Copies of this chain bind each other. A is one copy, B any other.
Amino acid sequence: MNVQETLNGYKTRLEAYLNALPMTGAPETLRKAMRYSLLSGGKRLRGCLLLAANELAGGAEKDALPFAAAIEMIHAYSLIHDDLPAMDNDTLRRGKPTNHVVYGEAVAILAGDALLSHAFEVMAASPHPRALPALREIAGAAGVGGMLAGQTLDVTMEGARPNMALVRAIHEGKTAALLTAPVTAGLLLGGAEEKELHAGREYGYHLGMAFQIVDDILDLEGDPALMGKTLGKDTAEGKLTWPACVGTAQAKKDAQAHIQAAADALAPFGGRADFLRQLAFSTLHRVQ
């Protein structure tokens, strides 16, 4: 199996689904602003994780696509609001001007609100017999005990002394929650059992922690041209990051340990989970 090829397959089909979303009733300006950020060429890691987990548990892809689209809409909304002047005040994202730079702050706020709302609208329209539990996983991860907890700590704790417990809470909320939910929601949709859900939860958690630690390292060491965004901002703004707590060398080791733990968590699936296992290892390449 070629990981990159499999990943590209998921991504291509998900992009086509996202591109065809009717967004019925949206005024033209709102639709444009939503599509600008939703279709701006991200990695689609969250959506692909959901499709892969659904397939691993034996589900048909077409039934899982609305949920994969929803998690990508939630990710896109979080980036739009995160980039706002009142938040991180970023003007560049994936090499393009951020949403509020193009559409103005008012429409950018509404476009974020609209992507979040539409994620739930699309999931709620699914006739899948396990639509509600899958929606529940995603709502929990996006909510006050998940991503929004991480975002709030990230914003309100700027300039605080680096502190492992706090950084872990930020990373768990901001990143790990929204990488875990697509795995568990996908497994649920595919019909997985409790033991497999537990394994998926462990996998998503460790993958998410590694992913955010790698992101922190790239903000220090990455190539801005390659990254398509402003780098070095974490340090400038006194953000709480993993390397700020333990140093860059240890941070790399910790990311590696989380990836190993993610791969190990997939044991109950045996060789059937090779794609997810190799996908985890591939996230490390960015800092190696």
Contacts and interface: CB of A to CB of B under 8 A. Distances in A.
A117 B117 contact: no
A43 to B, nearest CB: 23
A105 interface: yes
A13 interface: no
A218 interface: no
A126 to B, nearest CB: 9
B105 A27 contact: no
A180 to B, nearest CB: 14
A144 interface: yes
A284 interface: no
Interface stretch (A91-99, A146-154, A234-242, A249-257): A146-154
Copies of this chain present in the complex amount to 2
A26 B144 contact: yes
B27 A149 contact: yes
A84 interface: yes
A231 interface: no
Contacts of A152: 26-27, 29-30, 107, 110, 114
Interface stretch (A46-54, A130-138, A221-229): A130-138
Contacts of A121: 136, 139-140, 143-144
Given A143-B121, A156-B107, A81 B25 contact: no
Interface string A111-127: 01110111011001100
Contacts of A143: 25, 114, 117-118, 120-121
B149 A26 contact: yes
Interface in A167-187: none
Which has the most chain B C-beta neighbours within 10 Å: A106, A107, A155?
A106
A182 to B, nearest CB: 16
A11 interface: no
B114 A148 contact: yes
A2 interface: no
B145 A24 contact: yes
17 contacts: A25-B144, A25-B149, A27-B153, A29-B152, A34-B144, A81-B113, A86-B105, A109-B109, A110-B152, A112-B113, A113-B113, A114-B148, A117-B143, A117-B148, A120-B120, A121-B144, A124-B139
Interface of A: 23-27, 29-31, 34, 77, 81, 84, 86-87, 104-107, 109-110, 112-114, 116-118, 120-121, 124-125, 131-132, 135-136, 139-140, 142-146, 148-149, 151-153, 155-156
